[in-house]
Amino acid sequence: MATLDVRLKKVNKIYKEGDVVAGVIVVTSNGDLQHQGITLTVDGAVTLQLSAKSVGLFEAFYNSLKPIHLINYSLEISKPGKLPSGKTEIPFEVPLKPKPNKTLYETYHGVFINVQYSIKVDMKRSLLSKDLQKTIEFIVENKTTNKDEKNKSKAIPFTISPETLTNIKEKGNVPKFKIKGKLTSSVLNITEPLTGELMVESCDAQIKSIEIQLVRVETCGCAEGYAKDATEIQNIQIADGDVSRGLLIPIYMIFPRLFTCPTLSTNNFKIDFEINVVVVFRDDHLVTENFPIKLVRY
């Protein structure tokens, strides 16, 4: 039984544009292994999908947008031949160069938008035995050279009270409360946590929970126009139960890898992020305050 494996030299598998992706192809077999050639393919693409909510079920089904290829080339590792019994390691190096007129966006796994990079190794074999294939994903991260963003960042103070609420039907049902706080910055380095603090100054009703919600807003452009969808990435509870009044509660959230990337805006699609501060009352009524944020990578 022969197996095929690909191992990258960097354990965290993170590369940036212009890097050389180096690694080894490991073939193990019990006996001599006859093959019809080994090829390696580097592939990177943005896949877009329309959500059923914004464009209708049928369109969503049929009109899935064509993926945008950012990088795609293959190279022959070995001509047809024979590999000796045991473990064979074939090293390889691939420069990470995008297709002309394309940039390598950062790896991102979303709901409607995916930016994914992979290395695929194929071993063709004779008719009698199955071809061997192995695909691994690697990650692209780009450090921005633009340092201006950092300087633009400033703290966002906020106050939530019945008066600040919009989108409520009966004002009378809303309990009296006042919650003050701030987010340390509106422009955030993706490798550093979101920080801030929050204080319940007063609240008539019992609080059940206070949560910080990270939301992605994915916008896809297509012939019919734009489809914009906001979905939750993660929800972090920062207060549990009826917290003490007048006590500063820290806001702290680490951005999950893969599911976040620096805020991105291109011709065809856009990826934005927002933060929601959610206060859940004992009777399960909730109050949400929304903050758009900009993620960057220094």
Partner 1 sequence: MATYEWFPRPRNYDIERNRERLDGEEPSSHPLKAITVVDVKKTDKKGATQSKTEKKPVSSSVIKDPLSSMLDPLSASLEGSDPLSQMSLSSSSLPTTGRKSSFKESAETDGLDETFEPWSVKKSSILTKYSTSEKLSITTSFLSSSDKEKVAMRPQTTTTVTDKVRNRLEQLDDFEEGSVQEMLNLSQQDYVNRIDELNQALIDAWQHDQRVKALKIAIQCSKLLADTSVLPFYPSKFVLITDILDTFGRLVYDRLKEKAVYIPAGSGVPLKLPDNFTPDQVPESAKETCRNWFFKIASIRELIPRFYVETAILKCYSYLNNQEYTDAINRLCVMTRGIGDPLVAIYAKCYLCRVGILIAPKTRDHILPCYEDFLSTYSQVQKDAVQNTLAMQKIEMPRYLTFFSPALDWLLQCIANKSTEKTLMDILEKSRKQCNNALLLNSIISAFKPEYIASRSTQFIELIRESEEAGFPKHLLDRTLGLCLVMASPPEEQRLPVLNEVWKSIIKLKNPSDYIDCAEVWTEYVVKHFGKREINTILADIIKHMTPDRVYEDYYPQLQSVVTKIMCHITNFSMLFSLDKFLPFIDMFQKESVRVDVCKTIMESFNKTQLEPTNDPVIVNALMFICKTMHDSVNALTLDDERKMISNLISGFVRKISFGRDFEQQLSFYVEARANFTNLDMVLIELVQNVNNLSIDTRKVVKGNHSRKTGNFVRACAAYCFITVPSLQSHTSQLQLYLLSGQVALLNQCFSQADSFFKAAISLIPDVPKDLTQDGKKRQSEPVLQEYICNFLSTLLTVPDNPDSGVLYLLRGLLNILQNYTSDSDFKSNIYVRVLAVLSAVCQESYPYHVDKVDSNDSMYGSDPKFTADVRGICSTLLEEVLNHLKSLHTAETLRRQSQLALELFNTIVHHGDVTKPSMFALALNLWNLAQKHGECDIKQTVRSLDAVKKKAAVLNIKEYTDLVNKMALESRT
Q: Which stretch binds partner 1 (CB under 8 A): 134-142, 145-153, 168-176, 246-254?
A: 246-254
Footprint on residues 38-57 left by partner 1 (CB under 8 A): none
Q: Which stretch binds partner 1 (CB under 8 A): 74-82, 132-140, 245-253, 284-292?
A: 245-253
Footprint on residues 151-210 left by partner 1 (CB under 8 A): 193, 206-207, 210
CB of 137 to partner 1, least distance (A): 15
Residues 6+ apart with CB under 8 A from 167: none
Binds partner 1 (CB under 8 A): choice among 67, 81, 225, 241: 241
| Site membership for partner 1, residue 252 (CB under 8 A) | yes
Number of shown-chain residues binding partner 1 (CB under 8 A): 27
| Site membership for partner 1, residue 234 (CB under 8 A) | yes
Q: What are phi and psi of 59, to 5 degrees?
A: -60, -40
Match 């955030």 to its residue by tokens: 188
| Residues, the chain | 298
| Site membership for partner 1, residue 237 (CB under 8 A) | yes
Q: Residue 129 or residue 244: which is nearer to partner 1 going by CB? A: 244
Binds partner 1 (CB under 8 A): choice among 236, 266, 290, 292: 236
| Site membership for partner 1, residue 232 (CB under 8 A) | no
| Site membership for partner 1, residue 257 (CB under 8 A) | yes
Binds partner 1 (CB under 8 A): choice among 240, 266, 290, 292: 240
CB of 25 to partner 1, least distance (A): 20
Q: What are phi and psi of 55, to 5 degrees?
A: -120, 0
CB of 232 to partner 1, least distance (A): 11
Asked whether the beta carbons of 212 and 196 are under 8 A apart, the reply is no
Burial 4-35 (b: 16+ CB within 10 A, else e): bebebeeeebebebebebebebbbbbeeebeb
- Sign, Cα dihedral of 242, 247, 251, 252: negative
CB of 16 to partner 1, least distance (A): 17
Footprint on residues 97-116 left by partner 1 (CB under 8 A): none
| Start-to-end C-alpha separation, the chain | 46
| Site membership for partner 1, residue 235 (CB under 8 A) | yes
Footprint on residues 7-26 left by partner 1 (CB under 8 A): 11-12
Number of other CB atoms surrounding residue 218 within 10 Å = 23
Binding site for partner 1 (CB under 8 A): 11-12, 193, 206-207, 210, 234-244, 246-250, 252-254, 256-257
